Structure 1
Amino acid sequence: MRLLGLVVLVGLSSLAHGERLRIVSDDWAPYLYQENAQPKGIDYEVTNEVFKRLGVQVQWEFMPWRRCLAMVEQGLADGVMDIFQVDSRQDYLIYPDEPMSQVEFVLYQARSRPHPIERLEDLAGLTIGTSPGYTYDGAFAESPLFRREPAPSHEANFGKLALGRIDLVVTDRRVGRYVSRRLGLEQTVEALPLVVSRRPQYLGLARKPGREQLAQAFSEELRRFKQEPAYAAISARYLGNQDFPFAVEQQERGTR
């Protein structure tokens, strides 16, 4: 295995020499986001460190999610960060085996307007704020029982929730916690125990010559880095030491 890893890295070095990858994403804090025009986040720092070890330079660009997907599909970007594996993307994306992180989609409600939600059927008659540019498959996307209303940003979704313009917001638990803190809504909104989905998110690389090799090398180095204290320090800086409880789960999938 060590010999195989050496062969991969030697081959990668010739491909990556002088290469600068253009990676796109939307604001997806605390995983990846901009603050004062500077990129930050757990997966941003981890990805930079892994590529640094591989000798690959990275150029980061932030844009709406639909545009991110269009850019990488058209070959105008080399990769997209924190994306789910979806069959329809296999033609233009290559994924490392090792995921960047795990997400847990939940519903947020206003504390002043609680909803007793235990299953998707309990959403009947409600309006759910969805994330900008994302799609949702399974029963969540297809159910006629409730209305899905997109917003231009995560902040807009939570603002509408606080003002009573929508009933609930669906988003990743950590993203919801970050946004509500930034908006000063920690005491105003809360996550419900129902888990809509859990799934890993990845770095997606555009299908180009040599990218399978790069994906393999990235995966191996990422796996090694996750065992180091430096990785734990990055996570602690953004998340602290809190673990999120796992609750009732429905087999539906939100898609980035």
Structure 2
Amino acid sequence: MTELTSTKTRLTTLSILTALLIPMLVLIQKPASAADLVVLAKPEAPFKFEESGQPQGIDIEVIDAVFDKLGISYKVEFIRSDARIQEDARNGRADMLLVFSKNAKRQEYLTYPEESYVDIGWNFFIRSEDQDKIVYESFDDLKDLKIGITKDISYTPEFLASGLSFEESPRSELQIGKLLAKRFDAVPMNTISTLYEQNKEGNLDKIAYLPKPLKSKAYYNVFTKASKYPGIEGLPAKYDAAVRELKADGTIDAIFAKYLGN
């Protein structure tokens, strides 16, 4: 009788353990949901900015269309410091960055796709009261001026080696205020973004820009080599294919027109 009771007890215990283990095994075997692709961006309207708590802008709508095609869930985080964004790229906290020009140093830790959908020009902004006093055909024309530059912005090597007098700021959004306060005399800035922002600030009558650009080049949405996102190695090629489709069907042109007109 005792042996029968002991056997029943063992069977009951085994049944309880089995009932507990099966759900645990199911949980273990069930694949975890894929994490969002982390996209870092410096807010710079009309290309990328936050409005009513939501990311907006040309670049946001483009990557939204791209990742919709690819079936990829993503999230955008805005960071105002270029240096911080690049540090997060190097340490693997970010999977993608918006929007970066190409240089050898960045290619050490960023993977550039083949496709770019925007060329961005940078011009020297000055105070409108100085329009008749300042010209720019060569760097010699600026040699008596103090020039504002921003930390970790990719300027041209010729500009940095020009011997001009520079004053460095940590963030580009400080520059127009410093220009108007006469902290310096000229500052190279992203032309479209600066005009867009200063129109909102009501400063367009206070500033002007010199016609010859400091630089104009293609910019890219780039992938970080330190990313641990599943399948990140093959993502640039898929991104390129999606961007080519969006160029061909007029989607990207329509996005630009929405923000900048025709």
TM-score w.r.t. structure 1 length? Answer: 0.81
Structure 2 alignment gaps of length 5 or more: 1-32
Tell me if 1:139 matches 2:155. Answer: no
In 1, Cα distance between equivalents of 2:108 and 2:149: 27
SS at match of 2:208: strand
**Counterpart selection for 1:76 from 93, 97, 103:** 93
Contact 2:101–2:154 (CA under 8 A) maintained in structure 1: no
CA distance in 1, matches of 2:87, 2:200: 29
Quick one: which amino acid aligns to residue 40 of structure 1? Q
Aligned to 2:125: 108
Q: What are the superposed Cα offsets for residues 11-43 of structure 1, whole Å, 9 maximum, x if unpaired?
A: xxxxxx834110111122221122343211101
Bigger strand share: 1
Which is greater in Rg? 2
Give the equivalent residue in structure 2 for 1:238: 259
Q: Quote how far apart the aligned CAs of 1:213 are.
A: 1.4
**2:190 maps to 1:169:** no
TM-score by length of 2: 0.79
* Corresponding position of 2:145: 126
* SS of structure 2 residue aligned to 1:87: coil
One-letter identity of the residue aligned with 2:82:
W
- Give the number of the structure whose residues are more often helix, by fraction: 2
1:20 aligned onto 2:28: no
Q: Map 1:1-256; keep pairs closer than 5 Å.
A: 18-63=34-79, 64-114=81-131, 115-144=134-163, 146-207=164-225, 208=227, 210-241=231-262
Q: Which moved more, 1:174-183 or 1:217-226?
A: 174-183
Query: Which whole-Å CA distance do the structure 2 matches of 1:100 and 1:128 have between them?
Result: 30
Distance 1:197 1:165, change over 3 A: same
Q: Report Cα offsets for 1:34-90 as digits up to 9, x if no partner.
A: 234321110111011101110111111111111110001111111111011111222
**Aligned residues: percent identity?**
29
CA RMSD of aligned residues (A): 1.8
Kept after mapping to 2: 8 A contact 1:25/1:81 = yes
Match of 2:51, as an amino acid?
Answer: E
The aligned length equals: 224
